Amino acid sequence: MKMTRVDHRFSELKKQNKKGFIAYLAAGDPNLKDTEDICLRLEDAGVDVIELGLPFSDPLADGRVNQEAATRALEAGSTFEGVMECISNIRKRSEVPMIFYAYMNPLLARGYEQSIAIAAQAGIDGFLLLDLPLEEARPYRNALKQNALNAIQLVTPTTPNERIHKIVKQANGFIYCVSREGVTGVQDEIAVGAGALVQRIKSETNLPVALGFGIGTPEQARDAARLSDAVVVGSAIVNAFHNQAHTPEGRAEATAFVKSMVDAVKSV
């Protein structure tokens, strides 16, 4: 499979001996036009990969902040087709690596293979499929491979080593290491055992390992970067943009907060 933008970015980071920063947004929050603006601002802040949540009514892996963001996106009229247009518009101005954080239902509703092909044509680089069991994944992974898209895989603290071995064999791009049990959402500190989990994953694969779930401050981002190849920040970024005014000044304030976390990660 040819290298995606995600693959190229992680290759560059490795050569530079730098850690990566992955930022999560719900596509369509507060609306799709503003999502385009926010993505470009995140790139300017130094974000390496943007992870866009494909709006869904029942995002069971997400905590309150990201669930509410998905609800706002749907209430603002976000649709699958609208999100694809959003990606296409971003691609007219940017080559920032982007992946979809997605649940299976919206993809299956339109025909899975067709949905994946449309997303690839729009300019997405890969998918993290939250509710696709390993045992049922092969035909779905094949569709990603046929469209030269990354298949990002999750590993959680409760995943036994034998299953980690199987999971990483189906992955490319990077491995998303969930730092704690439960759903997304800012926590007070990095979970005990997160570093050990990263090392368990690294013993099974040469893919980069990104640590996420619960990271909400520059200090936490720096601590997470010391443990992993990249840091994923979601709820804190969603909150930052939601709580600021939807004006150029408000967006600049939220972007500055993101940059403070990016700078913390890059300092490691």
The closest alpha carbon to 174, from 196, 202, 138, 193, belongs to 202
**Could you tell me how many helices (H) and strands (E) the chain has, helices first?**
12, 8
62 catalytic? Reply is yes
Q: What are phi and psi of 159, to 5 degrees?
A: -80, 120
Number of other CB atoms surrounding residue 143 within 10 Å: 19
- What are the backbone dihedrals phi and psi of residue 2, each rounded to the nearest 5 degrees, phi first? -65, 155
Greatest alpha-carbon span in the chain: 50
Determine the length of the chain.
268
Please identify which of the residues 29, 36, 51, 229 carries the catalytic annotation. 51
Q: What is the dihedral of CA 78, 76, 217, 260, to 10 degrees?
A: 80
Count of alpha carbons within 13 angstroms of residue 173, beta-carbon side: 31
Handedness of CA 166, 168, 170, 175 (dihedral sign): positive
**Residues that are catalytic:** 51, 62
